[in-house]
Amino acid sequence: MPTPSLGSIPTDEQVFIDKLIAIRRGRPGALLGVLEATQERNRYKYLPLETLRYVAAKMEMPLARIYSVATFYALFNLQPQGENTICICRGTACHTRGSRNLLQGARLELGLGLDGGESDGNEADKLLLTTADQQFTVRTVACFGQCAMAPVVEVNHRICGHATERTLQREIETIRAGE
């Protein structure tokens, strides 16, 4: 598989990815580790298509395989993320305990509105919205596996159980205040 042109991703990113691959090559989960570290290094915490192409070429794997891994795992993002993420569980336990209201409240609080962003208007579908200033991304997941603490929200990778609209509003206010 030919290597993408050197101009497709910055040289420092190429060097970083090359080192990751050299360290992880032949180990179980090598691809996951490379993608995770590469995404974490990206300013907007996502994997651009050019990066996926580069990883595919360097790991001598079909791009379709790299893409299928990146789309299968919820931890990977193919779109730019905001500086802060709010992830709301839409699983059955969370739904029955009010996660729809949490989602609507977060969208309103962040100025994302209530229309658009769903595939067919069903808020149980996967949702990903980022504020215009790139400060916040609101997304949904099918389940965090923390059903006993429903409804569950993850704010900047910190799980908040038994969340209410008010506690989520306070979390947003705290982030905005820079605390």
Rounded to the nearest 10°, the torsion over CA 176, 121, 117, 165 is 10
Q: What is the model's pLDDT at position 3?
A: 47
CATH 3.10.129.10 fits 84-177, yes or no: no
Q: Cα(55)–Cα(6) distance, rounded to whole angstroms?
A: 13
Give mean pLDDT, residues 96-122.
Answer: 80
Residue pair 161/152 in contact by the 8 Å Cβ criterion: yes
Q: Cα(107)–Cα(109) distance, rounded to whole angstroms?
A: 6
- What residue type is 165 in one-letter code? E
Question: Mind listing the pLDDT tens digit for each residue in 63-97?
Answer: 999 999 999 887 899 999 999 999 999 999 999 99
In the chain, what are the domain boundaries? 11-72, 84-177
Q: Give the residue, 13 or 128, on which the prediction is more confident.
A: 13
Question: What are the residues whose beta carbons fall under 8 Å from the beta carbon of 146, sequence distance 6 or more?
Answer: 89, 152, 159, 161
Residue pair 166/150 in contact by the 8 Å Cβ criterion: no
Question: pTM for this structure?
Answer: 0.72
Q: Cα(60)–Cα(34) distance, rounded to whole angstroms?
A: 13
State residue 132 phi and psi, 5-degree precision.
-60, -30
